[in-house]
Amino acid sequence: MSVLSEAERPYIVGVGGTTKPGSSTEHALSVALGAAAALGCETRQFGGDFLAALPHYDPSAEVRSSEQLEFLTSVRRADGLILATPAYHAGVSGLVKNALDLLQDTAGDARPYLDGRAVGLLVTAYGWQATGATLGSLRSIVHALRGWPTPLGVTLNTASGSLFAPDGACSEPRVADQLSTMARQVASFAALQMHDGVVRP
């Protein structure tokens, strides 16, 4: 796709990371969001530090923390998302799942959950075995939230060597191309939905 104009500039939210600074998961998410930004998208990243500060989701709580409200406001505004998680025992990390559980607060919105939005999926693991199962689980979660997982889901085996430089740049062209392709799919779908007049809060 070509670079988007200011009038059709989608807002893409990235969610993911770990409690480890400079994790491969967070670097990969940053690269994907950078590719979306290069296409003309506005982006926002909620990394591991932010996710770790979110209180455990409590459906009965009457008051949300400032971090929870910030996250909800951003996702409500989003035209597309990219979700990134490490594969912990073949499952989505608790940090990412806790953030996604919070989206239950949008159930009564005119556009609930992730309704009508493309969602790029990214899974990292120390070995290939857990990546496929976790990617399938993440797709199921996005379907339950009424989102549209992109055709390409990216899985990265971090046991095969360093995929990212200390500054976060991707050192493997094949991986960079996959992340860019996924970001382009999210941006393209988001721009199409905006063109069709999808209602945003």
pLDDT tens profile 92-117: 999 999 999 999 999 999 999 999 99
CA dist 74 and 175 (Å) reads 28
pLDDT confidence tier of residue 77, bands split at 50, 70 and 90: very high
pLDDT at 196 over 80: no
What distance in Å separates the CA atoms of residue 37 and residue 30, rounded to the nearest whole number? Answer: 10
Question: In which band, very low, low, confident or very high, does the pLDDT at 201 lie, cut at 50, 70 and 90?
Answer: very low
Distance CA 200, CA 94 (A): 29
Q: What residue segments make up the domains of the chain, in order of their start?
A: 6-195
Q: Which two tokens stand for residue 183?
A: 């970001």
pTM above 0.95, yes or no: no
Residue 118 — very low, low, confident or very high, per pLDDT cuts 50/70/90?
A: very high
Confidence of residue 2 (pLDDT cuts 50, 70, 90): low
34-59 pLDDT, tens digit per residue, is 999 999 999 999 999 999 999 999 99
Q: How confident is the model at residue 79 (pLDDT cuts 50, 70, 90)?
A: very high
* Averaged pLDDT score across all residues of the chain: 92
Topology of domain 6-195, per CATH? Rossmann fold (3.40.50)
How far apart CA 174 and CA 28 sit, in angstroms, is 13
